[in-house]
Amino acid sequence: MTEAVLRTKDLPLRPLTGVESAKRAAAFHAVSQHLSPEATKVGIGSGSTVVYVVEKLQRLPKERTKNITFYPTGFQSRELIVGAGLKLGDVADLRDGELDVCFDGADEVDDRLNCIKGGGACLMLEKLVAVCSGVFVVVADYRKLSNSLLSQYPRIPVEIIPQSLSYVKSKIHALGGVPNMRLGGTAKAGPCVTDNGNLILDVDFPHGATVDGVRLKRTADGKDIKGLGLSTEEVALRLKAIVGVLEHGIFWEGDKKPVVAYFGMEDGGVTMRKKGLPDTPIAASEIKM
């Protein structure tokens, strides 16, 4: 791409406030910390926070990005990569662990770094890119910080093939879940259709889950959905086991969870959540903008 596209590092930053400013701080800090000079293959996730990851990449000296191929998790991130003049890769070429790092957003991150993703309906390719990454880094804002999944973000997005709609709904009901088919919104009548031509069910568990006819409740401390031992992990496995479910938005130990998550905070700083460490505040003055 042209020098003109890449020389945006010379431009002043757009003034931002509130949540947008928090997202940008998290994204800029994450790129500063995790884009190694040796990186050659990098995953770019989806959503509104990842926009700032690409903005940061675009502001880096060209030498830092010219040898890197960027792999998108859907139509939106493909457009971001191309629009920033970065080299676009094909996700279909990726093998296990092949990406040096992947930067992606999240809808909620718990204190064990389990995530809910898929609020933008991109969860399938996001999970594929995440599992192909050596280092998976989440960027988000303070609203996504949580102690247990489903306490901040109310539903688990599940991508299903359209022909399985009735069957999957019935199986989710049997688990005690309430499946809501995601709609296209004001710009489109009918369902939200994913980049893969599928449907999204947003699944809530308002009263806990049911296994073998036994109703399970959320634990008193709000941890997981477990009751008699039905953990976040088991919900993930049970959803995945339903025929017609392509993927669900729980990113956990069994597939991939981030090694670190950065949350832009209301005070301009960033909170780092990393396995084995207490949440660590990073002051606004330490963020390289």
The binding site for ligand R5P (CB under 6 A) comprises 45-49, 104-107, 117-123, 126
**Contact partners, residue 282, CB within 8 Å, separation at least 6:** 29, 269, 270, 271, 272
Least separation in angstroms between residue 104's CB and ligand R5P is 5
Query: Which one, 26 or 39, has the nearer CB to ligand R5P?
Result: 26
Least separation in angstroms between residue 107's CB and ligand R5P is 5
* CA separation for the pair 206, 226 (Å, rounded): 13
Residue nearest to ligand R5P (CB): 47
**Measured between alpha carbons, how far is residue 242 from residues 9, 30, 80, 191, 285 in Å?**
48, 36, 34, 21, 48
Query: Which one, 127 or 226, has the nearer CB to ligand R5P?
Result: 127
* CA separation for the pair 189, 52 (Å, rounded): 30
Query: Which one, 68 or 140, has the nearer CB to ligand R5P?
Result: 140
The residue assigned the tokens 């399970």 is 216
Least separation in angstroms between residue 220's CB and ligand R5P is 29
Query: Which one, 45 or 244, has the nearer CB to ligand R5P?
Result: 45
| String of DSSP letters for 90-133 | -GGG--TT-EEEEEE--SEE-TTS-EE--TTS-HHHHHHHHHTE
| Residue from 126, 159, 234, 253 carrying the catalytic annotation | 126
Least separation in angstroms between residue 32's CB and ligand R5P is 18
Question: 126 an active-site residue?
Answer: yes
- Catalytic residue IDs: 126
